C-alpha cells in the first residue's frame, strides 16, 4: 500500500517536559493505524504537530512523499489532514451544513452565501458516510453519535486523505460505536488513511490494521494488530507486566451509614431515589445512557435542583440547594466532564487543588498565602504521584490521568467524606486507570464513602462492594457484588425486572 504520511525522528519539548523524543509513525492509504500509549506518552502532541497546532523542534513529517511543516491548523486541513478531537468542536445553534462548511461557505455572485448549494454538498458528504442526518438540522438537537458524524463530514469536506480520530467513542453507546465503525470501514475502503487513538483496548480489534505504541514520549513498536495480544500491548504501553486490572481491596466497609438519600426526585418527574452509602464502601452505579445516573449525582451535589426528598450525612439531615452546601456538608463531586466542571484549565495546579478550601491557605482578610498553597499542593503531588514539572504548571498542560488526580486532590484537601466519582477513568489510559483505582481503594480504606458511576461493567464489577443499577430514572435494584454478573446488571438496566 502507498505511504500517505511518514513521521521521521520527530521531537518536541515544552518548559520542563520533553513531550516527544525521536518518534516515528507510518500511515498507509486505506489503513486504520491505531496509536496507543499512556496519558503523557506524546500521542496528542504528535497529533497537534500533524494538524498544524505545534511545530516540531526536530525531525521531519512527510505527506504524500514531500516534507511538510504546517503554519497553522487551516493549512493542515487544506492539505488534506482532518482531525476529530475527543471534545466535539461544533457550533450548537448552527445547522449541520453550516458546521460542515464553516469558513468555506459556497457563494454566488461573489458575496452571498449559497445556502441551497451548501445543503446539497453537505448531503453528498453525509451520503458518503451513510449518515442519517439532515443538512438543515440544528446541531444542538442531534444526539452525540450524530454530532460525531458531523465532525467526520466536516473533516471530509476538505477532501481529507488522512483522518485523525482522538478517542471518538468516549461518549458513545455500544450501538453508536458500531455505527461509527461502519463509517470507518467505509472510509478505509475509499482509500482514506485513519490514525485512531483510543484507551479502550477491547474495541480496537474491530478496526485495527496496525498498531504503534509510544511510551514516555518515545517510540516503542509498530506491528500488525493480529500479531499482538492485549497483554503484550498493555506491557509495552506501561513498560511492565500488569497481572490484575483492579487492585486487591484493602478494606471491608463498616456498617455505619455515611450518606442516606431519601425520596430524592427531580422537578416534573415522579420517580424517587432512596439508598444508603456506608463508610469505607464503594457503591458502583450502573445503567444505560440516559438512565439518570449523572442527574442523581448532580442533585446530591446541589448542582441540579431537587423537587423533593432529603439527604443525610452521618445521620444528620443537611440542606443541599447548591454545590457550596454540599461541599460544606463534606460531599465532593468529580464530574464526568472534568475539563468543563472539575478544573480551571488556565489556572495553575496549586490554585486548582486549593480552590475548594481557600480558608485553609488564606489570612482572615482573605489574602492567599502562597507558601501555604505551595506546601499543600506539594503534599498532594507527592502522595498522589501527580506528574508535573512544578506546582505552578497550568493544568491544561497535564495529561488526562494527572488532571483527574488534581480533581481528586482538590476534594482530599477539602477533607470530603463522601466522594461521587462520575466516569472516573473516562479518557485515561490503562496505567493511569490502575492508579485511580488504587486511590479510590485507599480512600475507602480510610473510611470515605464513594459513589462510582461507570459505563464500564468490568470496572463496576472490579471495584464495587455493592452495585446500584438505574433504569429510566429509577433505581432498579441494589445488589452485592458477590452475586453480580454483567448479564444480571444489563437485565436490570434494560428494565426487564
pLDDT digits (tens, 9 = 90+) for 9-22: 999 988 767 889 99
Domain-embedded: residue 251: no
Residue where one domain finishes, among candidates 238, 269, 293: 238
Residue 295 corresponds to which cell in the numbers above? 442527574
- Which pLDDT tens digit goes with each residue over 311-362? 999 999 999 999 999 999 999 998 887 878 888 999 999 999 999 888 888 8
- Which pLDDT tens digit goes with each residue over 443-482? 899 899 999 999 888 889 999 999 999 988 899 999 999 9
Residue 170 shares a structural domain with residue 315: no
Average pLDDT over residues 79-99: 88
Residue 226 shares a structural domain with residue 87: yes
User: Rounded to whole angstroms, how far apart are CA atoms 111 and 107?
Assistant: 6
Position 251 pLDDT exceeds 90 = no
Domain-embedded: residue 393: no
Residue 231 shares a structural domain with residue 117: yes
Residue 94 shares a structural domain with residue 126: yes
As a whole number of Å, the CA-based R_g of the chain is: 24
Residue-level length of the chain: 497
Domain-embedded: residue 465: yes
Domain that holds residue 182: 3-238
User: Rounded to whole angstroms, how far apart are CA atoms 130 and 136?
Assistant: 17
- CA-based end-to-end distance of the chain: 52
- The number of distinct structural domains making up the chain is 2
Amino acid at each position: 500500500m502507498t505511504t500517505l504520511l511518514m513521521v521521521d525522528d520527530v521531537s518536541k519539548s515544552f518548559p520542563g517536559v520533553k513531550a516527544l523524543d525521536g518518534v516515528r509513525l507510518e500511515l498507509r492509504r486505506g489503513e486504520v493505524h491505531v496509536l496507543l500509549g499512556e496519558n503523557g506518552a506524546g500521542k496528542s502532541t504528535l497529533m497537534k504537530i500533524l494538524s498544524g497546532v505545534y511545530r516540531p523542534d526536530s525531525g521531519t513529517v512527510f505527506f504524500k512523499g514531500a516534507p511538510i511543516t504546517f503554519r497553522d491548523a487551516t493549512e493542515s486541513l487544506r492539505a488534506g489532514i482532518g482531525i476529530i478531537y475527543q471534545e466535539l468542536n461544533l457550533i450548537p445553534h448552527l445547522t449541520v451544513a453550516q458546521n460542515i462548511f464553516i469558513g468555506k461557505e459556497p457563494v454566488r455572485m461573489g458575496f452571498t452565501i449559497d445556502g441551497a448549494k451548501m445543503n446539497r454538498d453537505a448531503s453528498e458528504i453525509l451520503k458518503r458516510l451513510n449518515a442519517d442526518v439532515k443538512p438543515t438540522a440544528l446541531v444542538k438537537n442531534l444526539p452525540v453519535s450524530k454530532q460525531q458524524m458531523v465532525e467526520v463530514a466536516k473533516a471530509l469536506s476538505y477532501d481529507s486523505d488522512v483522518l485523525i480520530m482522538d478517542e471518538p467513542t468516549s461518549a458513545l453507546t455500544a450501538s453508536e460505536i458500531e455505527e461509527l465503525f461502519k463509517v470507518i470501514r467505509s472510509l478505509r475502503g475509499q482509500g482514506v488513511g485513519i490514525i485512531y487513538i483510543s484507551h479502550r483496548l477491547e474495541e480496537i480489534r474491530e478496526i485495527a490494521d496496525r498498531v504503534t505504541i509510544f511510551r514516555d514520549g518515545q517510540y516503542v513498536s509498530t506491528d500488525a494488530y493480529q500479531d499482538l495480544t492485549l497483554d503484550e500491548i498493555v506491557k509495552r504501553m506501561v513498560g511492565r507486566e500488569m497481572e490484575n486490572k483492579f487492585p486487591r481491596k484493602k478494606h471491608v466497609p463498616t456498617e455505619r451509614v455515611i450518606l442516606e438519600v431519601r425520596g430524592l426526585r427531580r422537578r416534573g418527574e415522579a420517580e424517587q431515589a432512596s439508598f444508603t452509602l456506608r463508610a469505607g464502601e464503594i457503591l458502583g452505579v450502573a445503567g444505560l445512557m440516559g438512565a439518570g445516573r449523572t442527574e442523581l449525582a448532580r442533585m446530591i451535589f446541589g448542582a441540579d435542583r431537587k423537587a423533593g426528598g432529603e439527604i443525610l450525612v452521618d445521620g444528620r439531615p443537611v440542606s443541599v440547594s447548591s454545590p457550596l452546601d454540599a461541599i460544606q456538608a463534606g460531599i465532593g463531586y468529580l464530574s464526568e466532564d472534568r475539563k468543563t466542571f472539575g478544573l480551571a484549565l488556565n489556572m495553575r495546579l496549586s490554585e486548582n487543588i486549593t480552590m475548594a478550601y481557600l480558608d485553609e491557605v488564606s489570612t482572615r482578610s482573605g489574602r492567599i498565602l502562597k507558601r501555604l498553597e505551595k506546601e499543600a499542593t506539594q503534599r498532594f503531588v507527592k502522595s498522589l504521584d501527580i506528574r508535573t514539572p512544578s506546582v505552578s504548571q497550568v493544568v491544561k498542560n497535564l495529561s488526562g490521568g494527572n488532571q483527574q488526580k488534581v480533581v481528586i486532590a482538590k476534594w482530599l484537601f477539602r477533607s470530603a467524606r463522601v466522594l461521587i466519582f462520575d466516569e472516573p477513568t473516562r479518557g485515561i489510559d490503562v496505567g493511569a486507570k490502575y492508579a485511580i483505582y488504587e486511590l479510590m481503594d485507599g480512600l475507602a480504606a480510610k473510611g470515605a464513602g464513594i459513589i462510582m458511576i461507570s459505563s464500564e461493567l468490568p470496572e463496576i464489577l472490579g471495584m464495587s462492594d455493592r452495585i446500584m443499577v438505574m433504569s429510566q430514572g429509577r433505581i432498579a435494584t441494589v445488589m452485592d457484588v458477590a452475586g453480580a454478573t454483567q448479564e444480571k446488571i444489563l437485565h436490570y438496566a434494560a428494565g426487564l425486572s
